[in-house]
Amino acid sequence: MSDARGLQIMFKNHTTLLKWHRLRRRMADPLFSAEVMAEGFKAGASMELDLRVRADGGFVVLHDKDLEGETSGHGIIAQKSLAELRGLRMKDGDRPLLTSEDLAAMLQSAHPDALLQFDMKDDYEAIGEKGIAHLAEHLQRISASVIVSAGSQELILAVKEKLPHLRRGIDPSDKLGNICKAGGWNAVEKELLADLRGPTEPETIYLYWPMLLDAAKAGLDMIALCHSEGKRVDAWTFTLKDPDGGFNDTEWTNFSALMALKPDQITTDEAPATERAWLRRMAD
């Protein structure tokens, strides 16, 4: 069990991928690591990274809208040129920043099973036609390995219109959480169904895992609802507190309940450790 690769878990004839959150195979990996991404491409892993738009319409692999938290730079990313960003370093590991140009080059060597989620952190107003055109230019020959996701429905609609060959995903978790507080789970079911049948025509729905369990306890199987409409579900983000020790009792209760709902993918910062912990528990 020590050689678990952190790619997937099989349970009751259903395969659940373990997606590497922010290009981390394990929490000890540096944030947004090109080396880990290269390993994932060779292994056929599902991985996720965050993109922020630059001043020229291209993108850089960062989560925050400001440079201070993750890099040696200062200021708003959307106001920076490619040349300015090329001169900065990641705080985590003192490495150069990854750009969309770097990603396009690396994707050329991706394993056929590898999937890289581009989680767009800006909305369509910030990205605009220039950003969409940049994606089209750099991803036109490698669309099978990429899925573009966003909380912004307008952005995903623009991707659908301008880049119909790209796979698409939406994350309505925040919206559905607010709807639940105001109108209960029946209102959530109605809104989720509208999203599934809506104009973005998403392939994958990204949903916060505690919400999935809360809904199931209330009688709403959100994953089954998505599956009934032909959509895949990513449950985010489940990370073990003690990777070496495996699941504690609470984690095991939650994770086993989540697996019983048959998500297609679980986002985690500890993919190999999660697979090992699962295999240990199932062998007991």
Percent of the chain with pLDDT over 70: 98
- Predicted local confidence at residue 50, as pLDDT: 98
Within a domain: 229: yes
Within a domain: 226: yes
Those residues with Cβ within 8 angstroms of residue 173's Cβ, 6 or more apart along the chain or in another chain: 206, 207, 208, 211, 236
Domain span including residue 224: 171-284
Within a domain: 184: yes
Within a domain: 196: yes
Classify residue 67 by its DSSP letter. S
Within a domain: 222: yes
- Predicted local confidence at residue 76, as pLDDT: 98
Q: How many residues does the chain have?
A: 284
- Predicted local confidence at residue 143, as pLDDT: 61
Quickly state the pLDDT bin for 284 (edges 50, 70, 90). confident
- Predicted local confidence at residue 2, as pLDDT: 42
Based on the structure, what is the number of domains in the chain? 1
Q: What is the pTM assigned to this prediction?
A: 0.94
Average pLDDT, the chain: 94
Within a domain: 255: yes
Listing DSSP states for 229-273 in one string gives TT-EEEEE----S-TTT---HHHHHHHHHHHHT--SEEEES-HHH
Name the amino acid, one letter, at 111.
H
Mean pLDDT of 159-184: 94
Compute φ and ψ for 167, nearest 5 degrees: -75, 150
Within a domain: 139: no
pLDDT digits (tens, 9 = 90+) for 80-108: 999 999 999 999 999 999 999 999 998 88
Give the whole-angstrom CA distance, residue 212 versus residue 215: 5
14-20/8-11 β-pairing = antiparallel
pLDDT digits (tens, 9 = 90+) for 192-237: 999 999 999 999 999 999 999 999 999 999 999 999 999 999 999 9
